[in-house]
Structure 1
Amino acid sequence: MFHPLLVREVERLTDDSVAVTLTVPPELYDTFRHTPGQHLALRRMVAGEEIRRTYSICAPAVPAGAAPVLRVGIRAVDGGEFSTYAVKELAAGDTVEVMPPMGRFRLAPRPGYFAAVVGGSGITPVLSMATTLLEREPAARFCLIRSDRTVASTMFLDEVADLKDRFPDRFQLVTALSREEQQSGLPSGRLDRDRLTALLPALLPVAEIDGWFLCGPLGLVTAAEEALRGLGADRSRIHQEIFHVADGPAAGSAASRVAAPAHAALTATLDGRSGTWPVEKGESLLETVLRSRSDAPYACKGGVCGTCRAFLVSGEVRMDRNFALEPEETEAGYVLACQSHPATPEVELDFDR
């Protein structure tokens, strides 16, 4: 369910990015409390067409009873209607429609040693994670390895510098710039698999880290995951969120290789109500549900945000691609409705689990 929230502030971070702070009315405090790492789905109408996008919350989580702080980082992307609008036009006093926080890329404060590898705007959810963790848990440490093009393009420079000043013994920062030399720190260049394989063990005990959080472009996240697995990191401790994946099915996806049944029906449960509908040729299961239930959850429709996650009760499906669900979730029976197509004549999904 979307709620209209007032824009309190739009702060310029770089030439192509802003931080947007939203005001939450008291009656919605509980609705909009977030766990560090979660995101918001924002909606606006353009020429009669609904546009939804998800943006991660960069503000730390607040204790129960306090007013939640909703601050999201938005970077303009080529052809991005919502991001361009947010960076160029959105202003304090405007109203934005917002869904409650969601997402499973999160870190609840607890003792331990945690680390993140991020690229570009991938710093946004990790900033919330690191700040909340260090503020609330004295027995926790956090190492942030971030990659950006140049200093001028780096989001949340001041906030990260503040963490270094406040927690010098528990917060470690390593910065790599791909298009600019630094006076100190790593030489310029991309953080690819080979470079990360050499760098990570020199910084911290890879296999002993209690949680790895990878966020940013697909190439960086994939390289970091491969490096970590090669260095002995436990798969269950590696968490990832992809930003900015190109459109189109993943190469070699099952859905592109296997034909769907000639006729299929979908039964779906949403908010306690069930219905059954025929699946039209070529459409995803999310599109099937949306024809009759406009309240079906979704945001990116690209297999990235995970908003449309559903439990596969019966039948089989094929997903075009999956950049949101972790292996444990797919093994447990969860699928992305926006990327799923029927592989059997009858399929049943449950969005409420």
Structure 2
Amino acid sequence: MFHPLRVREVERLTDDAVAVTFAVPPELYDTFRHVPGQHITLRRTVDGTELRRTYSICAPAVPPPAEPVLKVGIRLVEGGEFSTYAVKELSAGDTVEVMPPMGRFTLRPRPGRFAAVVGGSGITPVLSIASTLLAEQPDARFHLIRSDRTVASAMFLEEVAELKDRHPDRFHLVHTLSREERQAGLPTGRLDTERLTSLLPALLPVAEVDGWFLCGPHGLVRAAEDALTGLGVPVSAIHQEIFHADAAPVDAGAAPAPVRAAAGSAKLTATLGGRMGVWPVGEGETLLDTVLRNRSDAPYACKGGVCGTCRVKLLSGEVHMDRNFALEPDEVSAGYVLACQSRPVTETVEVDFDA
């Protein structure tokens, strides 16, 4: 459900990025209180066309009764209608429709040692995770390895520096650049699998890290995942969130898709908001397409398999997910699928959006 929220502040971060803070009315405090690492979906209608985009919350989580700090980082995407509007036109006093926080790329503060490898705007959710953790857990440590093209393109430089000043003994920062030379620090270049495999053990005790958070472009996240698994880190300790999934290549080593049910022969049973419906799946439709054709209130945001907003529990039947950048392995094992990426393989499929 979307709520109209007033923009309290638009802060310029870089030439192509802003931080947008929303004012949350007291009656919605509980609705918009987030877990560090979650995102919100923003909605705007232009010439009758609805635009939805998800953006990660960068602010630390605050306990009741304080007002939740709802602040997101938005970077301009070439050709992106919503990001262009947000970066170039949005201003304090405007109203935007906002969906409550969602997402499972999260860390509820607890003692331990945690680390993140992020690229570009991937710093946004990790900033919330690290700042909340260090503020609430005096025994926790956080290691941040971030990569940006140049210093000028780096989002939240001041906020990360303040975090380092506030927790000098518990926050470890390494900042690499891929397109700019520096007199000090690590050599310029991309963080690929080979480089991360040698770099990470030199920076921190990899085996002692309780949880890894990887966020950014597809290439960086995959490189970090491969490096970590090669270093013996269990998959259960690696959490990831991919940005810009449109640029992600199809996995050439993946198993071929099973034969799908013939167009018009598959029937979808879906429970949403406590109400059940049964509908035929049209040719080329995903489960989400079918539900939206009959229920406009079906939850979704990116439609790219990234945000996880359309996660459903598969109760019966079989589907094929075209791609998945949102669900953790244990969620897939438990029977969850992304409605925006799933197409029927069997003639009957039943899912539950409420599960």
Q: What TM-score results when the alignment is normalised by the length of structure 1?
A: 0.98
Amino acid at match of 2:348: E
SS of 2:333's equivalent in the other structure is: helix
Query: In the alignment, which residue of structure 2 is the partner of 1:291?
Result: 293
Q: Which residue of 2 aligns with 1:210?
A: 210
- Aligned with 2:35: secondary structure? coil
CA drift at 1:78? 1.0
Q: Aligned-pair distance for 1:106?
A: 0.4
CA distance in 2, matches of 1:170, 1:352: 40
CA distance in 1, matches of 2:346, 2:72: 41
Per-residue deviation at 1:189?
A: 0.2
Q: How big is the shift at 1:256?
A: 5.4
Alignment of 1:100-179 (within 5 A): 100-179=100-179
TM-score when scaled to structure 2? 0.97
Give how far 1:257 is off.
6.0
Deviations 1:16-52 (A, max 9, x none): 0000000000000000000000000000001100000
Q: Which secondary structure does the structure 1 equivalent of 2:291 belong to?
A: helix
Aligned AA for 2:262?
P
Q: Retained in 2: the 8 A contact 1:17–1:76?
A: yes
Letter in 1 for 2:328: E
State yes or no: 1:345 paired with 2:347. yes
Gaps of 5+ in 2: none
Taking the TM superposition and a 5 Å limit, the aligned residue runs for 1:1-353 are: 1-246=1-246, 250-252=250-252, 258-262=259-263, 263-353=265-355
User: What is the one-letter code of the residue matched to 1:315?
Assistant: G
Q: Which moved more, 1:80-89 or 1:240-249?
A: 240-249
SS of residue paired to 1:246? helix
How far has the Cα of 1:227 moved from its partner? 0.2
CA deviation map 1:71-103 (0-9, x unaligned): 000001111110111000000000000000000
In structure 2, C-alpha distance between the alignment counterparts of 1:226 and 1:248, rounded to whole Å: 16
Q: 1:314-340: CA deviations, max 9, x gaps?
A: 000001100111111111100000000
Query: Structure 1 residues 295 and 117 mapped into 2: Cα distance closer, same or farther (>3 Å)?
Result: same
Determine helix, strand or coil for the equivalent of 1:164: helix
The one-character-per-residue Cα deviations of 1:149-175 (angstroms, maximum 9, x if unpaired) are: 000000000000001101000000001
Q: Is this contact kept in 2: 1:38–1:102, CA < 8 A? A: yes
DSSP-derived class of the 1:291 partner: helix
SS at match of 2:246: coil
**How big is each residue's C-alpha offset from its partner over 1:281-309, in whole Å with a ceiling of 9 and x where there is no partner?**
10100010001111101000000111000
CA contact (8 A) 2:272 2:354 kept: yes
| Cα distance, 1:258 vs structure 2 | 3.0
Q: Secondary structure at the match of 2:194?
A: helix
Separation in 1, partners of 2:256, 2:117: 31
Code of the residue aligned with 1:339 in structure 2: it is: Q
TM-aligned CA deviation for residue 251 of structure 1: 4.5
- Residues 293 and 247 of structure 1, relative CA distance in 2, 3 Å threshold: farther
**Take 1:351 and 1:216, find their aligned partners in 2: how far apart are those partners?**
27
Query: 2:68, 2:341 → 1: CA distance?
Result: 33
Mapped to 1, the partners of 2:113 and 2:346 lie a distance apart of 45
SS at match of 1:147: strand
Q: 3-state SS of the aligned residue for 1:163?
A: helix
Bigger drift between 199-208 and 88-97 goes to 199-208
Count matched residues: 353
Please tell me the residue identity of whatever aligns with 1:323: F
Runs of 4+ in 1 over 4 A off after TM superposition: 251-257
**2:260/2:343 contact within 8 Å kept:** no
CA distance in structure 1 between the aligned counterparts of 2:248 and 2:141, rounded to whole angstroms: 39
State which drifts further: 52-61 or 176-185.
176-185
> Once the two structures are aligned, what percentage of the paired residues are identical?
76
Deviations 1:168-189, CA, capped at 9 Å, x for gaps:
0000000110000122211000
Considering only aligned residues, what root-mean-square deviation do their CA atoms show, in Å?
1.3
Could you list the runs of 5+ residues in structure 1 that have no partner in the other structure? none
In the alignment, the residues of structure 1 paired with residue 31 and residue 168 of structure 2 have an alpha-carbon distance, to the nearest angstrom, of: 34
8 Å Cα contact 2:257-2:320 kept in structure 1: no
Return the alpha-carbon distance in structure 1 between the equivalents of residues 71 and 122 of structure 2. 15
Equivalent-residue separation in structure 1 for 2:146 and 2:353 (angstroms): 35
Cα deviation per residue 1:218-276 (whole Å; 9 max; x = unaligned)? 00000000000000111111000000011698355667563433410000011111110
Question: Is the 8 Å Cα contact of residues 258 and 320 (structure 2) preserved in structure 1?
Answer: no
